[in-house]
Amino acid sequence: MISKVPGARGALPGSDHSTDSYLPQHGNGGYRVQHYDLDLDYRVVSNRVAGRATITAVASQSLSRFTLDLGRLRIQDIRVDGRPAKFAHRPDKVHITPERPIFAGDTFRVDIRYGGRPVPISGRWGDIGWDELTDGALVASQPNGAPSWFPCNDQPSDKATFRVALTTSSLYTVLVTGDLVSRRRGAGSTTWVYERREPTAPYLMSVQIGRYVMVDLAVGGVVQRAAIPPAVRVRFAHDFGRHGEIMEALQRLFGPYPFNEYVVVVADDELDDPIEAQGMSVFGSNHVDGRRTHERLVVHELAHQWFGNSLTVADWRHIWLNEGFATYAEWLWSGVCGDLSTDALAAHWHARVAARPMDVTLANPGVEKMFDQRIYKRGALTVHALRKRVGDESFFALLRAWTAEHRHATVTTEQFREHAQRFAREPLDDLFTAWLDRPALPPLPR
Decide if 203 is catalytic.
Answer: no
Residue 282: pLDDT above 60? yes
Active-site pick, 198, 276, 301, 330: 301
pLDDT band at 432 (very low <50, low <70, confident <90, very high): very high
Decide if 301 is catalytic.
Answer: yes
Q: What is the 8-class DSSP label of residue 344? A: H
Identify the residue with better confidence: 426 or 10.
426
- The average confidence (pLDDT) of the chain is 95
Report the pLDDT value the prediction gives residue 168, as an integer from 0 to 100. 98
Residue 181: pLDDT above 60? yes
Closest CA to 30 of 43, 18, 39, 41: 18
CATH code 3.30.2010.30 region(s) in the chain: 213-305
CATH code 1.10.390.10 region(s) in the chain: 313-437
Q: Is residue 85 within 8 Å of residue 98, measured between CB atoms?
A: yes
The residues near 98 (Cβ < 8 Å, ≥ 6 apart) are 63, 64, 65, 66, 80, 81, 83, 85, 108
For 353-387, the pLDDT digits (tens) are 999 999 999 999 999 999 999 999 999 999 999 99
The pTM (predicted TM-score) of the whole model is: 0.95
* Average pLDDT of the residues in 307-327: 98
For 214-252, the pLDDT digits (tens) are 999 999 999 999 999 999 999 999 999 999 999 999 999
CA distances 169 to 44, 137, 214, 227, 230, Å, are 8, 13, 17, 17, 19
Residue 300 annotated in ligand binding: yes
Q: How is 102-143 classified by DSSP, letter by letter?
A: B-TT-EEEEEEEEEE---PEEETTEEEEEEEETTEEEEE-TT
* Average pLDDT of the residues in 345-359: 97
In this structure, what are the phi and psi dihedrals at residue 408, rounded to the nearest 5 degrees?
60, 30
Report the pLDDT value the prediction gives residue 268, as an integer from 0 to 100. 93
> CATH for 31-206?
2.60.40.1730
Strands of the sheet containing 86-90, edge to edge, are: 66-69, 93-97, 86-90
- Neighbour-count burial of 92, counting CB atoms closer than 10 A to its CB (0-12 exposed, 13-18 middle, 19+ buried): middle
CATH code 2.60.40.1730 region(s) in the chain: 31-206
CA distances 74 to 77, 121, 317, 428, Å, are 10, 15, 32, 52
Dist CA 276 CA 218 (whole Å): 19
Report the pLDDT value the prediction gives residue 182, as an integer from 0 to 100. 98
Give the class (CATH, top level) of 213-305. Answer: alpha beta
The residues near 90 (Cβ < 8 Å, ≥ 6 apart) are none
- Please state whether beta strands 280-283 and 261-266 pair in parallel, antiparallel, or not at all (unpaired): parallel
The residues near 344 (Cβ < 8 Å, ≥ 6 apart) are none
Q: Is residue 370 within 8 Å of residue 322, measured between CB atoms?
A: no
Report the pLDDT value the prediction gives residue 11, as an integer from 0 to 100. 37
For 122-179, the pLDDT digits (tens) are 988 889 999 999 999 999 999 999 999 999 999 999 999 999 999 999 999 999 999 9
Q: What percent of the chain has pLDDT over 90?
A: 93
Give the class (CATH, top level) of 313-437. Answer: mainly alpha
Strand partners, 38: 53, 164
Report the pLDDT value the prediction gives residue 15, as an integer from 0 to 100. 58
Residue 323 annotated in ligand binding: yes
